[in-house]
Amino acid sequence: MLQALDEAPLTRRFYILAGAVMLGAVLDLFDFFLIGFVVLEIADEWDLTFGEQAIVLLAAGVGAILGAIAYGGWQWLQSRKEQQSWKSPTGGDGSTYSSGMYGTVSGSAGASGAGSSPTGSSTPEPASAKS
């Protein structure tokens, strides 16, 4: 199968994807490229030593790493919050959730009829079937 992929012709989609990846890398790494030139310009005006210049450059890299970790942690917390909001308010297994305009939908309606839609069935009816 890998041989078939290797021998396949390159299509327009491949070149678009390759261009998008390259553009993304350029935009993502532009700040590191830029800080190298900025440090050279401000070093004379601020009388920075070689060690101080190195600290500025190192801070750019360490800041990017810490920012990525913080952003990843924030995304993880948000996903956990969304998972919690899907659970049943009665502490169930999460099989009952809101489906917007049709009320609630449940994996099992149970004896109490919980989870039924306004029309009485556990699956929503199309708008054309309502009168």
Q: Looking at 1-107, which runs of residues are DSSP E strands?
A: 96-98, 104-106
pLDDT in tens, 9-40: 999 999 999 999 999 988 888 888 888 899 98
Span 61-97, pLDDT tens digits = 899 899 989 998 888 888 888 887 766 555 555 555 5
First-to-final CA distance of the chain: 55
Tell me what pLDDT residue 52 has: 93
Q: What is the pLDDT of residue 13?
A: 94
Coil, strand, or helix at residue 47?
coil
In order of 9, 80, 106, the CA distances from 68 in angstroms are: 37, 18, 38
